[in-house]
């Protein structure tokens, strides 16, 4: 009992010391920065804006967790740093697809002096709270590759693929590949994610436009966790309904790779439309195993996002309409344009800079 | 099932026998005490990270979110600790949080409840689902591992179904008045005259303090607490002493469900919305905190302080590694290594203390 009470007392004592060490405060003494309200801007630029001094900007690009989609961000962060002569740039993927962990990563980076954040929020319904916190502390914040759910974007801007439009395009490509009639199936990711719901809506819209010529089997969700899960789902699907299906439209990375592989090995005459431009998928397009893929623009998001965040972080510019949402583009790639689609994508990136320049108010 | 509840409960509780606890009391030197060891370790690691990265002491950006995390995971740990006290486990701890928050979300979204009324509804839902798990275990005699695993699967299917049916974005985004403030308010917003509390301590942490006080009081000061521990130590002995073990099983699981609901609420407030994925990350930390803190897996001994310190240890290590810029590949390796070293140090201390005890004898 002696030791028991001794450790309790010690613990209480140390807890009190720790509490005291964090310090009490006096009313109104907090140095809350408040939302940065720079109004130094006067002129409006029509062309891409030249960053005057990026040396005080430390840029952090933060995906929700590790995923092949974000790998181009790593090199683009370095490119941002050298091209815009930033004080620092980092890429941190330790969020592990958990909003709480991602918030911790963001706070840790902010504590280390990073002041401009390009974030792919893990949870579209929660990320506005994180953006509001960062904005309240005076940081520049961009929502990259995914916009918050609902009508409000609390970040300075959102540069993302319009997932509903991309899913719509992918479905249109599938319908075209199967000749305009037949049954298709949609494979996608986490069902309880608002982006997945938007993708499902995009697919349904395209199918609806066929006036009943194309029908859809129930959507297969929650198979983007890893490749094995997706492979198993595809194998089950092909075994049970392989002969009935004429096309597969995928709107998530792992199902896309699994569907391309599964259909190729089963030798069934199913047309697969994939997502993104993984080497496997591109080789599938070249060999004819994959009918088409819808690629996104991760490099453009990180490059243009980094440029914008540097302009906002250095206080050289402000957004005319905070929270503006811009589609970073999605591109249908078929055998015909598999070697040239990247040129189209680069052109879109340049165009994005011009679009955003018109949205800025700069000093 | 014709067997009386008490008999089936005995069968359910007949899980591996508890290892005999080292005698506690005057013979153990203070430095060999696990909780004190943990406390010193947490403080030492905090100091080390602070020296390596002074930003570790940044009140707004590091200490505040760190304490918010520790508070939430302490409640998660307490939820698991309650069932560990009777030698059971709750594999559905995260999903119980998700279920309770689903009910809370419905209460905000559809019934327009206030913040605390919604919390109360969630706590009741958590208690009910926990009690249901306990009742099934006590009634059927099936191992708690199996029952809570089955319940976890059941809820895993049910929760997304409800969310997709009732919401557009698979989340309840209605924020009752006060929820946004609760996320960011610290003790600096509580003032007596002109003197306010620390801006580094989140108000949300008060929920954890209340939970610790209540659970600590139940286990150390009430007959119910002693009966729960007795049930965990030996069901047979407890029954022979007249303890209604089946009811205690239900109570322990109900307490676990209630605390899981509270943890779910804290997570919902700190991230911003009530969504189906709440609690997905709860299971491992729920065991880590209590076990590091000295709670026995086999039941019969718990430590509320230890649960908090065990949780604090992992959170501090993770935060420190974050600040040191350790990449994803190495983060979990270092986390595991530091925990291993911490536990080995603890073992070394115990062995040294035992040897000293033998010499004194």
Residue of A nearest to B56 (CA): A111
For B151, B215, B263, the CA distances from B208, given in Å and listed in that order, are 26, 10, 9
Q: What is the pTM of this model?
A: 0.83
DSSP A291-351: -EEEE--HHHHHHHHHHHHHHHHTTSEEESSTTEEEE---EEE-TTTTTTHHHHHHHHHHH
- Which 239-298 residues of chain B touch chain A by CB within 8 A? 267, 270-273, 275-277, 280-281
B-chain CB neighbours of A22 within 8 Å are 59, 63, 198-201
Contact B13, B144 (CB under 8 A): no
Confidence of residue B298 (pLDDT cuts 50, 70, 90): confident
All structural domains of chain A, each given as residue ranges with its CATH number in brackets, are: 58-161+298-329+339-362 (3.40.50.2300), 163-295 (3.40.50.2300)
Q: Could you tell me if the ipTM is greater than 0.85? A: no
In a domain, B355, yes or no: no
Residue of B nearest to A110 (CA): B61
In a domain, B305, yes or no: yes
- Structural domains in chain B (count): 1
- Taking the Cβ of residue B154 and every Cβ of chain A, the question of whether any pair is shorter than 8 Å is answered with no
Q: What is the pLDDT along chain A (363 residues), one digit of tens a residue?
A: 344 554 455 555 545 545 554 555 655 444 433 333 333 333 333 347 888 888 999 999 999 998 888 999 999 999 999 999 999 999 999 888 899 999 999 999 999 999 999 999 999 889 999 999 999 999 999 999 999 988 899 999 999 998 999 999 999 999 999 999 999 999 999 887 778 888 999 999 999 999 999 999 999 999 988 889 999 999 999 999 999 999 999 999 899 999 999 998 888 999 999 988 888 888 889 988 899 999 999 999 999 999 999 999 999 999 999 999 999 998 999 999 998 999 989 999 999 999 898 989 998
In a domain, B356, yes or no: no
CB neighbour class for B143 (10 Å; exposed up to 12, middle 13-18, buried from 19): middle
Report pLDDT for A49: 83
Q: Answer whether B271 sits within 8 Å of A123, measured CB to CB.
A: yes
In a domain, B180, yes or no: yes
* pLDDT tens per residue across span B200-243: 999 999 999 999 999 999 999 999 999 999 999 999 999 999 99
Cite the beta strand spans of B110-248 per DSSP E.
Answer: 171-172, 191-192, 195-196
Confidence of residue B356 (pLDDT cuts 50, 70, 90): low
CATH code at position B296 = 1.10.3470.10
Cα(B233)–Cα(B113) distance, integer angstroms: 42
- Taking the Cβ of residue B361 and every Cβ of chain A, the question of whether any pair is shorter than 8 Å is answered with no
In a domain, B18, yes or no: no
Q: What is the distance in angstroms between the CA of the first residue and the CA of the last residue of chain B?
A: 53
- Which 118-157 residues of chain A touch chain B by CB within 8 A? 123-130, 133, 137, 149-150
Nearest to B74 by CA among B305, B283, B338: B305
Report pLDDT for A39: 37
Report pLDDT for B6: 46
Q: Answer whether B188 sits within 8 Å of A99, measured CB to CB.
A: no
Report the gap between the CA of A152 and the closest CA in chain B (Å). 12
Nearest to B225 by CA among B202, B239, B243, B207: B243
Cβ pairs bridging A and B (under 8 Å): 169
Residue of B nearest to A103 (CA): B271
In a domain, B2, yes or no: no
Domain extent for B339: 32-188+196-348
Cα(A174)–Cα(A179) distance, integer angstroms: 9
Preferred mutation among A103, A125, A138 to probe B, highest tally of B CBs within 10 A = A125
In a domain, B136, yes or no: yes
How many H-runs (helices) and E-runs (strands) does chain A carry?
11, 15
* pLDDT tens per residue across span A233-279: 999 999 999 999 999 999 998 999 999 999 988 889 999 999 888 88
A-chain CB neighbours of B59 within 8 Å are 22-23
* pLDDT tens per residue across span B61-114: 999 999 999 999 999 999 999 999 999 999 999 999 999 999 999 999 999 999
In a domain, B340, yes or no: yes
Cα(A78)–Cα(A63) distance, integer angstroms: 15
- Which 64-93 residues of chain A touch chain B by CB within 8 A? 66, 90, 93
């Amino acid at each position: 009992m002696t030791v028991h009470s001794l450790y309790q007392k010690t613990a209480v004592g140390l807890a009190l010391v720790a509490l005291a060490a964090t310090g009490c405060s006096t009313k109104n003494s907090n140095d809350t920065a408040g939302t940065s309200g720079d109004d130094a801007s006067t002129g409006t630029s029509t062309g891409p804006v030249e960053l005057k001094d990026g040396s005080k900007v430390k840029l952090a690009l933060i995906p929700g967790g590790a995923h092949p989609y974000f790998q181009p961000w790593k090199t683009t962060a370095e490119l941002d740093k050298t091209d815009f002569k930033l004080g620092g740039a980092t890429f941190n993927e330790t969020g592990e697809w958990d909003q709480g962990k991602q918030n911790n990563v963001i706070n840790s980076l902010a504590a280390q002096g990073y002041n401009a954040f390009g974030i792919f929020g893990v949870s579209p319904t929660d990320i506005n709270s994180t953006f509001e916190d960062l904005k309240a502390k005076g940081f520049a914040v961009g929502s990259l590759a995914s916009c918050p759910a609902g009508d409000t974007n609390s970040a300075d801007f959102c540069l993302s693929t319009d997932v509903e439009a991309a899913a719509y395009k992918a479905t249109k490509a599938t319908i075209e590949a199967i000749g305009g009639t037949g049954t298709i199936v949609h494979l996608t990711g986490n069902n309880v994610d608002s982006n997945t719901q938007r993708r499902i809506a995009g697919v349904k819209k395209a199918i609806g436009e066929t006036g009943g010529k194309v029908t859809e089997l129930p959507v297969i969700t929650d198979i983007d966790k890893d490749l094995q899960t997706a492979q198993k789902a595809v194998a089950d699907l092909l075994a049970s309904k392989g002969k009935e299906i004429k096309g597969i439209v995928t709107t998530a990375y792992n199902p896309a790779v699994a569907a391309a592989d599964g259909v190729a090995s089963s030798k069934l005459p199913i047309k697969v439309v994939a997502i993104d431009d993984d080497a496997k998928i591109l080789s599938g397009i070249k060999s004819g195993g994959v009918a088409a893929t819808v690629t996104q623009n991760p490099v453009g998001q990180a490059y243009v996002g980094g440029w914008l965040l540097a302009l906002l972080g250095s206080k050289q510019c402000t957004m005319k309409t905070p929270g503006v949402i811009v589609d970073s583009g999605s591109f249908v790639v078929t055998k015909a344009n598999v070697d040239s689609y990247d040129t189209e994508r680069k052109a879109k990136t340049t165009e994005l800079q011009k679009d955003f320049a018109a949205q800025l108010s700069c000093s | 099932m014709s067997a009386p509840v008490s008999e089936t409960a005995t069968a359910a509780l007949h899980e591996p026998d508890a290892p005999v606890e080292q005698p506690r009391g005057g013979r153990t030197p203070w430095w060999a005490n696990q909780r004190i060891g943990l406390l010193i370790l947490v403080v030492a690691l905090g100091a080390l990270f602070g020296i390596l990265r002074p930003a570790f002491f940044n009140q707004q950006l590091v200490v505040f979110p760190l304490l918010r995390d520790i508070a939430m995971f302490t409640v998660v740990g307490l939820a698991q600790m309650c069932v560990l006290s009777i030698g059971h486990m709750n594999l559905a701890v995260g999903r119980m949080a998700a279920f309770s928050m689903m009910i809370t979300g419905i209460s905000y979204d559809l019934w327009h409840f206030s913040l605390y009324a919604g919390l109360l509804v969630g706590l009741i839902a958590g208690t009910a689902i926990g009690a249901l798990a306990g009742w099934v275990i006590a009634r059927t005699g099936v191992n708690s591992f199996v029952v809570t695993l089955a319940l976890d699967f059941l809820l895993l299917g049910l929760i997304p179904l409800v969310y997709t049916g009732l919401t557009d974005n698979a989340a309840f985004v209605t924020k009752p008045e006060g929820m946004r403030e609760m996320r960011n308010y610290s003790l600096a917003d509580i003032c007596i005259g002109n003197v306010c509390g620390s801006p580094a301590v989140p108000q949300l942490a008060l929920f954890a303090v209340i939970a610790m006080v209540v659970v600590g009081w139940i286990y150390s000061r009430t007959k119910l607490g002693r009966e729960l521990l007795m049930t965990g130590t030996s069901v047979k002995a407890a029954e022979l002493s007249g303890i209604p073990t089946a009811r205690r099983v239900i109570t322990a699981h109900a307490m676990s469900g209630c605390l899981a609901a509270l943890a779910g609420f804290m997570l919902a407030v700190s991230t911003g919305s009530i969504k189906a994925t709440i609690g997905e990350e709860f299971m491992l930390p729920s065991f880590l905190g209590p076990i590091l803190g000295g709670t026995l897996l086999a039941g019969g001994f718990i430590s509320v302080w230890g649960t908090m310190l065990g949780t604090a240890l992992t959170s501090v290590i993770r935060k420190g590694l974050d600040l040191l810029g350790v990449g994803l590949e190495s983060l979990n390796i270092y986390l595991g290594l530091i925990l291993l070293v911490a536990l080995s140090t603890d073992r070394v201390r115990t062995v040294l203390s035992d040897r000293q005890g033998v010499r004194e004898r």
